[in-house]
Amino acid sequence: MKSKLEIKGLKVSREGREVVKDVSLAVAEGELVALLGPNGSGKTSLVSAVMGHPHYQVDGGDVLIDGESILDLAADERARRGLFLSLQHPPEVPGVTVGSFLRAAWTAVSDETVGMADFRKRLLDELKTVGLSDRFLARGLNEGFSGGEKKRLEMLQMAVLSPRFVMLDETDSGLDVDALGIVTRGVEQAIARGAGVLIITHNPKVLENLKPNRVSVLCSGQVTATGGADLAAEIAEKGYCGVRCGKCE
């Protein structure tokens, strides 16, 4: 049986306002699932709640990994269970280098201790796959990074940590063609390693070079349409109003 991340009837609020309304999704190992929706539809709220962000209150439903609820787990414990969230706007962390951050993250999720020299050797091959040099490891975390560099770093994190379930929030935002190609290859490599990937975006064109197993549309905090890869193509052609988006009613 395939390992699975399940979101069942999830209801989420922030500061007393309901932002996610009875959403159900599932992502199995080796699958690519796309969640599309216009800006402000609740996509980021959904994955933030799944990851355990303290600003989001789960008011109903459940989130399970292999049938076991993770709602009582802190965000770091969810990461140890194999969850990974790529942020739309990753923060700058002055004084922390990329290399130190990656080593600390690896140690936290794997419970293994590895020396910096040995860990650096491990990173070199992964750096090449995302188009970065080893000098990148000495830079401050996200300090002065371009949008493309931030996304390359996220793909590097994903490769190093090898999570079981990946949630990519607006990972195509502000990217040029080359950087978008890096993201596409990163997603393909994650799926090849057996990860389940949930890609969240308002722009269906990011899926032109990817073949999702399923596509869902989120509008006004609710899933309003579900289908296959052809649904993304329909949205690209007709817009969200053409596929029963709640914002158009």
Tokens 């390992």 locate to 3
Token pair belonging to 115 = 């020396």
Q: For the stretch 92-123, what's the b/e string if a residue is b when 16 or more beta carbons lie within 10 angstroms of its beta carbon?
A: eeeeebbbbbbbeebeebeeeeeeeeebbeeb
Give the pLDDT score at 174.
62
Structural domains of the chain, ranges and CATH numbers in brackets: 4-91+164-248 (3.40.50.300)
Tokens representing 158 are 């994903």
- Gyration radius of the chain's alpha carbons: 18
Which phi and psi (to 5°) does residue 38 adopt?
A: -65, 165
Residue 31 has pLDDT above 80, yes or no: yes
Nearest to 16 by CA among 46, 50, 49, 59: 59
Per the listing, tokens 């399940």 go with 6
Give tens-digit pLDDT for 85-121.
Answer: 988 788 889 899 998 899 888 888 887 777 777 788 8
Confidence (pLDDT) at 19: 96
Measured at the alpha carbon of residue 81, what is the angle toward residues 94 and 119, in degrees to the nearest 5?
A: 50
What pLDDT, on a 0 to 100 scale, did the predictor assign at position 141?
Answer: 94
Given a contact cutoff of 8 angstroms between Cβ atoms, the answer to whether 102 and 156 are in contact is: yes
Q: pLDDT over 70 for what percent of the chain?
A: 96
Dig out the tokens for 40 from the structure.
Answer: 């402000």
Higher pLDDT, 246 or 242: 242
| Mean pLDDT along residues 188-209 | 89
Q: Please give the biggest Cα pair distance in the chain.
A: 58
